[in-house]
Amino acid sequence: MANEYEPRPEHKFTFGLWTVGNIGRDPFGEPVRQPLSPVELVHLLAEVGAYGVNFHDNDLVPIDATSAERDRIVRDFKRALQETGLVVPMATTNLFTDPAFKDGAFTSNDPRVRAYALQKTMRSMDLGAELGAKVYVFWGGREGVETDAAKDPVEALKRMREALNFLCEYSIEQGYGYKFALEAKPNEPRGDIYLATTGAMLGFIETLDHPEMVGVNPEVAHEHMAGLNFLHAVAQAWERGKLFHIDLNDQAFGRYDQDFRFGAHNLKSAFFLVKFLEDVGYQGSRHFDAHAYRTEGYEGVKDFARGCMRTYLILKEKARRFNQDQEIQGLLAEINADDGSMTGLLGPYSRERATRLKEYQFDRGTLGRRDLRYERLDQLTVELLLGVR
């Protein structure tokens, strides 16, 4: 198949306006690319074959725009969507760029900032709903501290809960049908950000008034920054029905927030991630939250965006081969073999089962002597990924 790795709408590949629109500013250097307008970015995304475009309120409408300017911008953007067929599956709020948010938004120590953050989010939810978004992402970029002298972490959680409860009610009352997706990140731009991992978010969600409408938006780079296994975070979210969205990119462990092209650094973990999403039948967006190297112009930005999608599709094809590889599947069958001898001993608790299990004589020596062949299995996986299998 010649176009096997060509992105198609059913792949649900999306990018944020801020991703392909990233102008390459970093803490040490000025922008290297001229900004493109939202309309130009929609056309760029259509050219590379994306399915959808997501945005923060201020990626589309500048924070100080008048309502007439807002209406014109939204009208032009809608026209670009119509012309290209791109959709807007997700929207979010910028609660981190403006100096008003220097100490966070929902968790700020200043009640005026907390109230302004709610107002800004409601307006941004209106904008997202107007453009068809069904997922609303919350990334608490500045919801944290540099020093714990400044903020009470218990109070911060309470403030965060109150804000999300408020906004859930707002969404319900407006009939927006949003699913909220909470995105964890351990640090950057704050020294420490509250609810630092996807696991922490999953615990927090259960304390909300409407846990059924709140899930997570895990990001590869964010779990890697914390030195964690991203797939395991995604699996935990999936198993609880909480994988509402996903941010794909790449990141070397222990480095600054890199936002590299998907698969650029940890190919093997990218493979197991794609395999997981495809095997379980994840139906949501495959959203790339990354940006091109600072060395690139807009041709390079297109290379970057095409690369994210193409790598995903190549890894998807590798996952198919993994699932059909006789030797790999044979090893997996061996590894997971069950001779039935434990039936009746394993399973839900009963007093009778507990009694039988306590009496059972295990042959520890035999258990310890069993070879597992994981070396072979991993080498076969590596060879498959390297294209010699």
CA-to-CA separations, 316 to 121, 130, 144, 285, in angstroms, rounded? 36, 33, 37, 15
CA atoms within 13 A on the CB side of 110: 10
CA dist 131 and 124 (Å) reads: 11
Phi, psi of 291 (to 5 degrees): -150, 165
Site for Mn ion in 263-292 (CB under 5 A): 289
Beta strands in the chain (DSSP E): 13-16, 52-56, 90-92, 135-139, 144-145, 179-183, 192-193, 214-216, 247-248, 286-288
Query: x/- string (CB under 5 A) for Mn ion, residues 209-228?
Result: ----------x---------
The single residue among 247, 301, 304, 310 that binds ligand GCO, judged by CB under 6 A, is: 247
Q: How far is the CB of 385 from ligand GCO (least distance, A)?
A: 26
CA-to-CA separations, 312 to 100, 162, 212, in angstroms, rounded? 38, 38, 30
Order the strands of the 179-183 sheet from edge to edge: 214-216, 179-183, 135-139, 90-92, 52-56, 13-16, 286-288, 247-248
CB neighbour list of residue 273: distance below 8 Å, 6 or more residues apart = 220, 230, 231, 234, 248
Does residue number 247 form part of the binding site for Mn ion (CB under 5 A)?
Answer: yes
Return the sign of the alpha-carbon dihedral for residues 152, 156, 158, 159.
positive
- Of 94 and 108, nearer to ligand GCO (C-beta) is 94
Does residue number 230 form part of the binding site for ligand GCO (CB under 6 A)?
Answer: no
Site for ligand GCO in 271-290 (CB under 6 A): 289
- Of 5 and 116, nearer to ligand GCO (C-beta) is 116
Does residue number 92 form part of the binding site for ligand GCO (CB under 6 A)?
Answer: yes
- Of 103 and 219, nearer to ligand GCO (C-beta) is 219
The single residue among 103, 143, 183, 223 that binds ligand GCO, judged by CB under 6 A, is: 183
Does residue number 98 form part of the binding site for ligand GCO (CB under 6 A)?
Answer: no
- Of 138 and 312, nearer to ligand GCO (C-beta) is 138
- Of 12 and 56, nearer to ligand GCO (C-beta) is 56
Return the sign of the alpha-carbon dihedral for residues 67, 92, 154, 205.
positive
Site for ligand GCO in 203-222 (CB under 6 A): 219
Does residue number 250 form part of the binding site for ligand GCO (CB under 6 A)?
Answer: no
Amino acid at 287: H
Q: How far is the CB of 326 from Mn ion (least distance, A)?
A: 39
- Of 96 and 166, nearer to Mn ion (C-beta) is 96
- Of 103 and 247, nearer to ligand GCO (C-beta) is 247
Question: Is residue 96 a contact partner of residue 138, using CB atoms and an 8 Å limit?
Answer: no
Copy the structure tokens of residue 374.
Answer: 């994981």
CA dist 284 and 51 (Å) reads: 12
Query: x/- string (CB under 6 A) for ligand GCO, residues 122-141?
Result: ---------------x-x--
224 carries an active-site annotation:
no
Beta partners for residue 182, in sequence order: 138, 216
The single residue among 162, 192, 257, 317 that binds ligand GCO, judged by CB under 6 A, is: 257
CB-nearest residue to ligand GCO: 139
CA dist 138 and 13 (Å) reads: 20
Q: How far is the CB of 117 from Mn ion (least distance, A)?
A: 18
Does residue number 192 form part of the binding site for ligand GCO (CB under 6 A)?
Answer: no
Amino acid at 36: L
Q: How far is the CB of 61 from ligand GCO (least distance, A)?
A: 16
Q: Residue 250 binds which one of ligand GCO, Mn ion, none, with CB within 5 to 8 A depending on kind?
A: none
| Residue from 24, 21, 84 nearest 58 by CA | 21
59 carries an active-site annotation:
yes
> What amino acid positions are annotated as catalytic residues?
56, 59
Give the footprint of Mn ion on this chain (CB under 5 A): 219, 247, 289
Give the footprint of ligand GCO on this chain (CB under 6 A): 56, 92, 137, 139, 183, 185, 219, 247, 257, 289
